[in-house]
């Protein structure tokens, strides 16, 4: 079998979308003849083309990735897409080979909740292609024609099966398969810090729920404790922290090595209003850290409440504060749940997750 992989992210072994794309491409290269990778950047896994519009002097536009990718495709048996949109490219592959199997990774989350969150804080929702009906029809074309849709969580799968946003675009009952994201397990788990520290990692964004974590921390008056929020753009929370006089809270901005965050924390919190998965949750668990996640985080699939962490409602600073206080008051529980978190993460090593993708390429295209 010959295949092609297209993604709007880079291909890398670091963090976030890049590592997901890397492992999908690696699984394809191991299970098929990977003829071409279309991505933002370069890779040594197969011949590649950079489809970032900026490389061609063009302004950022999600549809341009698709237009550029469509110029490079060739006949294949399997095409796997990660990122949106790829309607033109998928359609062209089907025209070249009507029997080609189209697989699309869709880490869907509630667009309605995301839009609501921006509006709560007085901002216009910036992703017009998600809310404008005409643009959404164009944007979702590759999802409509997919033979298999891969969702990273039960949350994502259920949203696609039940939300009006998705159900109205499907021409037939969608074939949705859940394959969670994976993790590169650290060989050693570092000791917990002497000082109680809560951490969060993620790019700044209203639907990441970071504001609710900050409001939760403001409610707490913990001695010899701190909160660290890290990730691209999070330094912009500095003013909010100062204005609201939130003590011992630090917004560090982008960091080079995500593992440094997990090593210094006692408890990891993912306060997302809506998120298809949330890789930092799994990464923190792989470092032996208990987690607090919201109902809006897809990675809640990994959390057994009271065993390796806690699940709390979205937009609920009181609930987050209560669980943080519990861990602060019960340091032995941090250690117990941390050990359980590591055991959970061991089931999601990327080598196991790649096998799930390879089964898909090998024939599990139906059911």
- pLDDT digits 0-9 by tens, 150-185: 999 999 999 999 999 999 988 778 999 999 999 999
Task: Output the domain CATH number for residue 178.
Answer: 3.40.50.2000
Q: Phi/psi of residue 249, each to 5°?
A: -120, 135
Q: Are residues 202 and 307 in the same domain?
A: yes
Q: In which domain, by residue range, is 160 found?
A: 2-182+349-361
- pLDDT digits 0-9 by tens, 25-51: 999 999 999 999 999 999 999 999 999
Distance CA 209, CA 230 (A): 13
- Indicate the DSSP class of residue 218: H
Angstrom CA distances, 205 to 31, 125, 216, 225, 350, stand at 37, 11, 17, 25, 27
CA dihedral 182, 187, 193, 197 (to 10 degrees): -10
Helices 331-345 and 279-286 cross at an angle (nearest 10°) of 110
Position 363 scores a pLDDT of 59
Q: Are residues 200 and 104 in the same domain?
A: no
Distance CA 320, CA 145 (A): 41
253 belongs to a structural domain: yes
Domains identified in the chain, total number:
2
- pLDDT digits 0-9 by tens, 106-153: 999 999 999 999 999 999 998 898 999 999 999 999 999 999 999 999
* Residue whose C-alpha is closest to residue 281's, from 16, 27, 76: 16
Q: How distant is the alpha carbon of residue 56 from its chain centre?
A: 28
Q: Are residues 142 and 202 in the same domain?
A: no
Confidence of residue 15 (pLDDT cuts 50, 70, 90): low
324 belongs to a structural domain: yes
Give strand ranges (E) for 51-195: 78-82, 101-105, 148-151, 176-178
Give strand ranges (E) for 138-224: 148-151, 176-178, 196-201
């Amino acid at each position: 079998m010959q295949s092609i992989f297209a993604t709007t992210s880079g291909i890398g072994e670091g963090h976030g979308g890049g590592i997901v794309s890397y492992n999908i491409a690696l699984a394809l290269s191991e299970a098929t003849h990977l003829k071409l990778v279309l991505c933002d950047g370069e890779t040594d896994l197969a011949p590649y083309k950079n489809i970032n519009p900026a490389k061609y002097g063009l302004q950022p536009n999600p549809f341009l990735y698709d237009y550029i990718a469509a110029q490079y495709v060739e006949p294949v048996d399997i095409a796997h897409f990660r990122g949106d949109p790829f309607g033109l490219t998928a359609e062209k592959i089907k025209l070249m080979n009507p029997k080609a199997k189209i697989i699309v990774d869709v880490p869907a989350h509630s667009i309605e909740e995301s839009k609501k969150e921006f509006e709560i804080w007085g901002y216009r929702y910036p992703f017009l292609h998600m809310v404008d009906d005409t643009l959404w029809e164009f944007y979702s074309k590759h999802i409509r024609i997919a033979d298999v849709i891969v969702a990273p969580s039960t949350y994502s799968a259920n949203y696609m099966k039940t939300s009006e946003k998705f159900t109205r675009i499907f021409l037939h009952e969608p074939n949705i398969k859940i394959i969670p994201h994976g993790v590169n397990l650290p060989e050693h788990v570092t000791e917990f810090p002497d000082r109680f520290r809560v951490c969060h990692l993620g790019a700044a964004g209203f639907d990441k729920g970071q504001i609710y974590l900050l409001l939760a921390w403001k409610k707490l008056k913990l001695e010899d404790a701190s909160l660290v929020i890290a990730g691209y753009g999070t330094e912009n929370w500095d003013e909010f922290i100062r204005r609201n006089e939130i003590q011992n809270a630090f917004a560090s901005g982008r960091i080079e090595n995500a593992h440094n965050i997990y090593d210094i924390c006692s408890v990891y919190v993912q306060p997302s209003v809506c998120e298809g998965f949330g890789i930092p949750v799994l990464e923190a668990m792989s470092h032996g850290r208990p987690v607090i996640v919201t109902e809006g985080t897809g990675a809640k699939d990994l959390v057994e409440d009271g065993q390796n962490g806690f699940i709390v409602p979205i937009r609920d600073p009181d609930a987050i504060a209560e669980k943080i206080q519990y861990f602060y008051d019960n340091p032995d529980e941090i250690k117990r749940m941390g050990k359980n978190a590591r055991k959970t993460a061991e089931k999601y090593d990327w080598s196991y997750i790649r096998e799930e993708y390879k089964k898909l390429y090998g024939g599990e295209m139906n059911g």
